[in-house]
Amino acid sequence: MDSCGLSILDPPSRLGMQSHVSRSFMWPKECVAEAEGELEAPLVDLDGFIRGDQDSTRHAAELVRQACSRHGFFQVINHGVDSRLIDEAYQQLDAFFNLPLQRKLSIPKTAGAMWGYSGAHAHRFSRNLPWKEALSFPFHRTDASEPVVSDFFTSNIGQDLQHAGKVFQEYCEGVKELGLRLMELLGISLGVERRHYREFFEDGECIMRCNYYPPCQQPGLVLGTGPHCDPTALTILHQDHVGGLDVFADNKWQRVPPRPQAFVVNIGDTFSALSNGRYKSCVHRAVVKRYRERRSMAFFVCPKPDKVVRAPQDLVLRDGSRLYPDFTWSDYLLFTQSFHRADHSTLHHFIPWLLSSKPTA
């Protein structure tokens, strides 16, 4: 229990009614420093690339190359995901987070597990808690008769949210295809074979996360999500009209204003390793508002767990050396779930852990 008599297991939506923030949710001053201005990141129009126009493709690839070399962040429009589907996904997100608390708590994330409901990640941590609730579920393409997302909702949440499962199944299918297109564009921007990264991720097991950030009476003390780089390869996120996403670039926090027609895209640690460090893993955070709730939907593109993460040989030859040793996504996921809380230096800490944990010859 906190000194205010509140349990850290209470989600922020309940604590948000309190006039004082529990110490468990407070972050250091350097983490909550106010953003300075808006991030200058390209808005990449994918229409010409999707249609196969060579000039448009070269232009888009150059914008991506510049952004990913600098801070690992860009936005895309004309991405091929139906805006009506995005709106419907938000409606289903609202339906879930408006469920009674006990219903949400009945599908908790257990230690080491990725899937389920989390109220401020209190099942894993006791301080610097994020001021949010989240629902995470898996997505991968399967030959089974029951799609994986629909099956998750039916089996874990209930028949009354069966329609939500179908909506998110369709949403994930659309965003995964966008992710594979972006992998082609990333390959072009790095000067490797166009389909190299697309083929690497086609059978990947991705993560979908719905985020709800309640209002907070003292927003200057808390964070919706603390400063971190995503351990995954690529994050494709849609944020609602409220805003609250910040990126750390040029030694300062900068705001990313919401664009309803755009997805924000950021490089994660796994793709940084696949680019031999050429592309930056984006350092970002989420801030909260005093009077307004915020929602977002994050789709994390991941490889198949047993695939070896290794930069293409021609890229390594051009660079002269390999920056990272071989590892698998399952190695990295284990590290972030059991040994290290994801932050801005996760990959830096992972490499010595990986090398020390490998059996000697």
**Active-site residue numbers?**
294
Count other Cβ atoms within 10 Å, centred on residue 268: 27
What backbone phi and psi angles, to 5 degrees, belong to 299?
Answer: -115, 120
225-228, strands of its sheet edge to edge: 225-228, 284-286, 245-249, 252-256
Q: Are 303 and 200 in contact (CB under 8 A)?
A: yes
Eight-state DSSP code of residue 108:
B
Eight-state DSSP code of residue 30:
T
**Closest C-alpha among 119, 126, 124, 121 to residue 97:** 119
**Closest C-alpha among 185, 176, 180, 179 to residue 68:** 185
Q: Coil, strand or helix: which one is 74?
A: strand
Map tokens 């597990």 to a residue: 113
**Closest C-alpha among 230, 250, 279, 256 to residue 68:** 279
Q: Are 233 and 270 in contact (CB under 8 A)?
A: yes
